[in-house]
Amino acid sequence: MPAYATRSSHPSTFEALFRRSKFASHTPSIAQVYTAPTASRARGDFGFKHPFPTGRRALRAQYVTVQRADGYWGGMLWASGETRARWVSQMEELDAVVEPDISNGSTGRAQNDEWYEESEFTRALDASTHSRSSFDPNSLGGTRSSLLGEERPYKNWDRLGRKAFERWLREVRGLQGEFRRWVLDRRKEQLFALQAGENPKLSDPAGQSDILPNTHRPPTNSHIALDTYYHKDPADDFYPLAQSPSALVEMDHFFATRPPPTSPAHLLAIPHPVSGLAYARPSRLQVFLNTKPQRGVVLGELPAEPSISPAVGRRRRGEDGDTTFLVGLRGHAARVSRRHSGGRIAPFLYQGRDPLRNEPRFRIWQSTLLRPPEVVRPQDVGMGLYSRGEEREVGVLRMELREVWQGEKLRFWERPGSPGWVANDQRTSEFFSLRSTNPPLGQELDVGGDGIAERQKVESAKEAKEREGREKREKRREKAAKMLNDVGALLGI
């Protein structure tokens, strides 16, 4: 035997270097964004085979996307990735929870398909959107069942690893007895329906995806035939059921009607006592209170149509025409209504057409991602990958804001009745909140004006001023009397 055949093969230095390079993660169908240190970018070195163009007229980009690492002419097809990187950095600066759009409109099914994420822990939405043809009943010669609109099995075994799949098989083998009882109970219900002269509740309207195959149905609707068929050996019925094209659909129905105790739909959220906040999904109010206020620019007003009742044909009570303001915030266009700004006539100190003076502060109340960024594209597009514009390369975000303003000063910040409240009754503190429509304590409504008059009725302040005036007058009298005494002593009076 040659010596090289018995020698153990060790990875070479070039193989290890290639494994750590960017070629190992480069996929032409995914628009990945690459960057490099400043010194490497100055030389056009982003870690690829060919360097990027450098010079006075070259496009100096900090982030790039590579379509083809090695072209036909010994070059590289690339484009700027500044837009994608800027979008990600803006979302990190906003620090808001982004929720996918789950509206049930005409495009709701397409949105659900677009948001489908195939992973080990994901329950598939629909078998028709699954990427595995082995899971499609049509590939087995059967027909689609009405169960396709329901939830699929609790495990997506197409994405399981080898050990996880073996563990799942052991779990499924333990359910054989329960599956047999479920089949017998369901067959019993269908036989009773046939005996009563009703149509049995089949999985498929066409009758081809049924617990009772067409070749094993009772020949008549008599009690003798039903009793004879019901007392047959169950093992004789499971063989044709296992060979039926609808066996996979029936198994899906079994898992859908019997979720296991470890199903994600039945697990309670028990976060880690230390890092549980990193896994918990906060509410909108918690996000609103925890995020820092952001400065925005009021771009203009968007008058909304009033709500019209279809039954009465007139405006509903308390639903006057609201005004929505368009706000620019961190590169995004957001909206906020006058109703959520305390009902003020001129919210945000809106100064007409001057955008430089319209810079109030806002907090994000809700962020909904209508369309995720398009990063995966078909291979057959070719050079047209970056020719469709960048409107599909970035995500579409809908944001709803609430204005943050510096409210009145509270004289009693401590809890009423506490020692701090008794000792520091003159203490004032500033707070941030939404503008209140009711007059705060210590203020009165200005009937003749259009708002709350900033006049406080504090008798203690007036008394303090009067007492201070009396003390000053007494000091002046004492000083004048002392001067007269000194002058009289000098003159010898």
Pick 56 or 455 by higher pLDDT: 56
pLDDT for 170? 81
Q: What is the pLDDT of residues 265-323, one digit of tens each?
A: 444 444 445 454 445 556 777 777 777 777 777 777 776 555 444 444 444 444 455 67
Q: Span 385-400, mean pLDDT?
A: 57
Residues 6 or more apart from 239 whose CB is under 8 A from it?
Answer: none
Q: Span 133-161, mean pLDDT?
A: 43
Residues 6 or more apart from 206 whose CB is under 8 A from it?
Answer: 143
Dihedrals phi, psi of 265, to nearest 5 degrees: -75, -15
Q: Span 140-144, mean pLDDT?
A: 34
Comparing CA positions, the residue from 37, 74, 39, 81 lying closest to residue 59 is: 81
Assigned token pair, 50: 């060919």
Measured CA to CA, the distance from residue 338 to residue 325 in angstroms comes to 8
pLDDT for 416? 67
Q: What is the pLDDT of residues 12-39, one digit of tens each?
A: 677 777 676 666 666 766 777 888 888 8
Comparing CA positions, the residue from 38, 44, 31 lying closest to residue 82 is: 31
Assigned token pair, 333: 């266009």
pLDDT for 280? 53
Q: Span 384-390, mean pLDDT?
A: 41
> Which of 124-133, 186-195, 362-371, 406-415 is predicted most confidently?
362-371
- Judged against a pLDDT cut of 60, whether residue 411 lies above it is answered with no
- Judged against a pLDDT cut of 70, whether residue 224 lies above it is answered with no
Give me the count of residues in the chain: 493
Assigned token pair, 465: 């001023």
- Across all residues in the chain, what is the average pLDDT? 61
Burial status of residue 276 (CB atoms within 10 A of its CB: 0-12, 13-18, 19 or more): exposed
pLDDT for 262? 52
Q: What is the pLDDT of residues 244-273, one digit of tens each?
A: 666 666 776 776 666 555 554 444 444 445
Q: Percent of the chain beyond pLDDT 90?
A: 0
pLDDT tier at 426 (50, 70, 90 boundaries)? low
Return the minimum-mean-pLDDT range out of 91-95, 423-427, 442-446: 442-446
Residues 6 or more apart from 254 whose CB is under 8 A from it?
Answer: 179, 182
pLDDT for 198? 56
Q: What is the pLDDT of residues 158-184, one digit of tens each?
A: 566 778 778 877 877 777 778 778 877
